[in-house]
């Protein structure tokens, strides 16, 4: 029996768990869902981009990623390990350049909509219609763009105004006119290389472009298309694998300087035009030159080419 003056034992204190209101729990769940939602969106976007890359490669095009020229990238040097584990190394590999094969149609060009930032894009000789080039204008980081021998005209070329980073632009054998030349002068301050050979840009507009902002003449090439019909033929031949250049030939009738475009054509191993294409080629004569570099031609086709006319003073027959 304990002594009467001893104090009674103190009861053990019960442990109380942290308590949260329903509102607090909802806020915490929302805060947790935001980064998880971002991860899901990014992973879905990467999946779409991989699908677009696979489709372009299947068509015979080419795609390169940042750093490919210097070996495979090492994200571990620049990105925290926890972030790489969360989104994967693929997230840090950005598509840098895309090259679509000649003759690419609307569906092929449409794959560009599934890509993120592209800096170098080659669509030379694509058969896609003008509206199909809409996805191009979303790639604001483009520094090099080749749209030669495509259906690009003044209406579509207005989208160039949003590509302020462009330094290299090729629009040879397209239907652009002085209207597009004005867009180039006003909207592309960093443009250092421009190809407008075989277009409907006037000599006056070409001279303004050449003299604007001290642009060096070596970075600018221009010549007029002899006619819209011949420009269309030149573009069609390039879409079939030929290389067609409207060579600028200066003339001085009555003491007035003028420039005429006369076509030089090269047929290489990628030529797919056949006799139909050669008959189109004949409509460009007189030619400035014709070069055969391993083109798959039959004896009949070679005999047909032997009858083509060449301009006086040009480099002549193949």
- The pLDDT tens digits for 159-211 are 999 999 999 999 999 999 999 999 998 999 899 999 999 999 999 999 898 88
- Tell me how far the alpha carbon of residue 70 is from its chain's centroid: 21
Strands 95-99 and 258-268: unpaired
User: Domain limits at 242?
Assistant: 227-318
Residue 183 lies in a domain: no
The runs of H, that is alpha helices, within the chain are 22-58, 81-87, 106-110, 154-157, 178-187, 203-211, 228-239, 274-282, 299-305
Residue 234 lies in a domain: yes
* Rounded-to-integer distance, Cα 312 and Cα 300, Å: 26
Q: What is the mean pLDDT of residues 44-67?
A: 87
At what angle are helices 203-211 and 178-187 packed, to 10 degrees?
A: 10
Residue 114 lies in a domain: no
Residue 179 lies in a domain: no
pLDDT band at 70 (very low <50, low <70, confident <90, very high): very low
Residue 184 lies in a domain: no
pLDDT of residue 78 exceeding 80, the answer is: no
Residue 143 lies in a domain: no
Lowest-confidence segment of 57-71, 186-200, 228-242, 279-293 by average pLDDT: 57-71
CA pseudo-torsion sign 58, 60, 65, 69: positive
Residue 233 lies in a domain: yes
pLDDT of residue 269 exceeding 60, the answer is: yes
Per the structure, the count of domains in the chain is 1
């Amino acid at each position: 029996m304990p002594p009467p003056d001893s104090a009674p034992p103190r009861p053990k204190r019960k442990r109380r768990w942290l308590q949260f209101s329903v509102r607090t729990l909802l806020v915490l769940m929302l805060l947790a869902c935001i980064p998880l939602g971002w991860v899901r969106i990014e992973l879905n976007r990467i999946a779409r981009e991989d699908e677009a890359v696979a489709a372009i490669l299947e068509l015979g095009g080419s795609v390169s990623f940042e750093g490919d020229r210097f070996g495979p990238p090492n994200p571990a040097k620049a990105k925290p390990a926890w972030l790489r584990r969360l989104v994967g190394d693929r997230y840090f590999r950005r598509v840098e350049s895309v090259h679509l094969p000649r003759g690419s149609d609307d569906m092929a060009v449409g794959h560009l909509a599934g890509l993120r930032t592209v800096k170098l894009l080659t669509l030379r000789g694509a058969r896609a219609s003008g509206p199909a080039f809409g996805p191009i204008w979303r790639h604001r980081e483009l520094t090099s763009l080749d749209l030669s021998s495509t259906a690009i005209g003044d209406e579509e070329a207005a989208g160039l105004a949003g590509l302020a980073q462009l330094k290299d632009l090729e629009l040879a054998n397209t239907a652009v006119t002085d209207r597009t030349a004005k867009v180039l002068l006003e909207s592309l301050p960093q443009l250092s290389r421009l190809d407008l050979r075989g277009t409907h840009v006037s000599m006056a507009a070409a001279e303004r472009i050449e003299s604007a902002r001290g642009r060096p003449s070596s970075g600018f090439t221009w010549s007029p298309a002899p006619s819209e019909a011949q420009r269309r033929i030149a573009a069609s031949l390039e879409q079939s694998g030929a290389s067609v250049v409207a060579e600028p030939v200066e003339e001085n009738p009555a003491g007035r300087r003028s420039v005429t475009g006369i076509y030089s054509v090269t047929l290489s191993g990628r030529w797919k035009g056949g006799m139909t294409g050669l008959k189109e080629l004949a409509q460009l004569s007189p030619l400035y030159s014709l070069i055969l570099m391993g083109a798959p031609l039959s004896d009949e086709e070679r005999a047909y080419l032997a009858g083509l006319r060449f301009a006086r003073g040009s480099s002549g027959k193949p």
